[in-house]
Structure 1
Amino acid sequence: MPETVRGIHYRVDDIRAPWAGEALPVLFNHGIGTTHDIWAGWVPAIAARRPMLRFDMRGFGRSVMPPVDHVWSMDELIADLWSVADAAGAGRVHLMGESMGGTIVLAAALARPERVASVSISNASYKGKGIGELAYWRDQFAAGGPAGWSGRMMGNRFNPGHGDPAALDWFQQEQARTQPHVALGLGGVLAASDLTEPLRAAPFPLSVVLPDSSPFVPPLHGAELREIVSDCRLRVVPGVRHGLPFSHAAEEAAQLAAWLDAVDAA
């Protein structure tokens, strides 16, 4: 995987036919406890239609690991995202984020609106207030370490008995690699976030997809976003927990592909 000047590892997937026309890239930002591989199931639907940029957030995967005393900030995460677009040679892009990655892409779009064609978020919010579970993380790490925290997170992300056992086992093992100071630092940034006022003037179309059973993000946050952002669509997926982008990758990728095509054609 190539690396940006900020130590962020990324990859570009583009499986379009040689005769396909130009299409704007879409840049994906994952959330806490995962890597760019959370989007693996999205590649067939997305990369067949446009370049797909994925990266490991700092502190995860192959990207730079900050020290324990690192001071985390949203500005840093925004700069990381745009460093990927720059390194890949992408000018204007669509943005897609899941969980905290959704909050980051919203903030990144507000910081550089001239580079954004659209923003899509899944199982994500625009503010920290009202997000569940974060207050328990420190105790969970203290009691069970990363493996114990990951076990609790699996219950938050996926319904029991649903999903490919091999995929879920892989997910739990990857999630258990999370360093406590990374999760807690990012959780602090998320908890302090509130993009309400700048989003009122958002110049980009926004797609919000929320599971109805996430212990983190209540569907109410989606309804609020629809009132705040003038060009916003909301879809709530029933019977699904916080792991929606992984558990329903093929379905959600098809939905995103159609949405991006519609935005480009408008």
Structure 2
Amino acid sequence: MPRVTTPDGIALHYEEAGAGTPILFIHEFGGNHESWEPQLRFFSRRHRCITYAARGYPPSDVPEDVEQYSQAIAVADAVAVLDGLGIARAHVVGLSMGGFATVHFGLRHPDRALSLTVAGAGYGCEKQYEDYFRGVSLEVAERFATEGARAFAPVYAEGASRVQFQNKDPRGWREFADRLATHSDTGAAFTMRGVQARRPSFWDLEEELKQMPVPTLVVVGDEDDHCLLPGIFLKKTIPACGLSVFPKTGHTLNLEEPAWFNGLLAEFIAQVEAGAWTPRDPRALPGQIMRTR
């Protein structure tokens, strides 16, 4: 079983396929490394694709201390995977929790990122919902810790931004829900407490984001309500950022709409590698409606 070891001694399981410019895929809270299978099958035709199970997600190690889980540690783990595989730079793609890690990767290690794709990221960022998000995160953590993933997964998997996937692709959604039920009870609880409930809002990072030079694509579903405004904020704040909104789509973008997602990501990467994904033209003034002089 292929593994890399982080600086603090945690073994992370990874999988890879293909050859070419590397793409690193970082999964969401409700998924694991297997959640990127539609992308590995598509992109490994011309890229070296790597996905890994975050700490707390078997077959990676599950630390027994909540202080071994944080947003900063999640970024360090992504770097450790690249280091362990001898990869200097990669396109970094993350969904939800992985999308937050991708943003922080770009802020902390812009020299290691060829591009950033931030999908379905934003929960807890809206200032009016910060307290609610932290509270519900801790409640979810408690449910995983006390009831276990197998019992709680059916509830979590029918969240307001998951039912779109269920309605469109019942078999794909069932695979997602069944996979969620296999998560480590301890790992899920500590990830929710240490990473999700403690991470900063994008608005708290505004000045840093304004200086972040990495070409960035933000993708959200139009029925993933708490990611819409954060997605627009990232678009307006990061210099070389584009925004795509998938219609009638929820949170699990890459599985719910794999053809759209793969096509969009392929075009983005092609533009980045051609040097065509540049910062916004300074003439495109946000406050201007029509030019008169």
Q: If the length of structure 2 is used for normalisation, what is the TM-score?
A: 0.80
Where in structure 2 are there 5+ consecutive unaligned residues?
276-293
| Counterpart among 8, 13, 30 of residue 9 in structure 1 | 13
**Counterpart contact for 1:158–1:242, Cα < 8 Å:** no
SS in 1 for 2:47: coil
Contact kept? 1:118, 1:263, Cα under 8 Å: yes
Instruction: Measure, in 2, the Cα distance between the counterparts of 1:139 and 1:92.
Output: 38
Correspondence for 2:46: 49
With a CA cutoff of 8 Å and minimum separation of 6, indicate the structure with the bigger relative contact order. Answer: 1
Q: Which has the larger radius of gyration?
A: 2
RMSD between superposed Cα atoms in Å: 2.3
2-side partners of 1:9 and 1:261: how far apart? 29
Q: Provide the secondary structure at the position in 2 that maps to 1:4.
A: strand
What is the CA-CA distance between 1:13 and the residue it aligns to?
0.9
What is the match of residue 103 of structure 2?
Answer: 106
Task: Output aligned runs, 1:228-247, within 5 Å.
Answer: 228-247=237-256
- Asked whether the 8 Å contact 1:214–1:242 carries over to 2, the reply is yes
Q: Secondary structure at the match of 1:155?
A: coil
| Residue equivalent to 1:265 | 274
Moved over 4 A (4+): 130-134
The residue type paired with residue 14 of structure 2 is: Y
Pairs within 5 Å for 1:136-175: 136-140=136-140, 141-142=142-143, 145-156=148-159, 157-159=162-164, 162-175=167-180
Secondary structure in 2 aligned to 1:27? strand
Q: 1:63 to 1:10 in 2, by over 3 A?
A: same
Could you tell me how far 1:161 is from its partner in structure 2? 5.0
Tell me whether 153-162 or 142-151 shows the greater mean CA deviation: 142-151
Offset at 1:134?
5.2
Deviations 1:173-221 (A, max 9, x none): 2212242233333222335664322111011111000011125x33111
3-state SS in 2 of match to 1:159:
helix
| Partner Cα distance (1:192, 1:262) in 2 | 29
Distance change (3 Å), C-alpha of 1:188 and 1:160:
closer
Unmatched tracts of structure 1, length 5 or more? 17-22
- The count of aligned residue pairs is 258
1:96: which partner in 2? 93
The change in CA–CA distance for 1:238 and 1:214 in structure 2 (over 3 A counts) is same
2:13/2:53 contact within 8 Å kept: yes
Identical counterparts, % of pairs: 25
Distance of 1:46 and 1:258 partners within structure 2: 12
Of 193-202 and 232-241, more deviation after overlay is shown by: 193-202
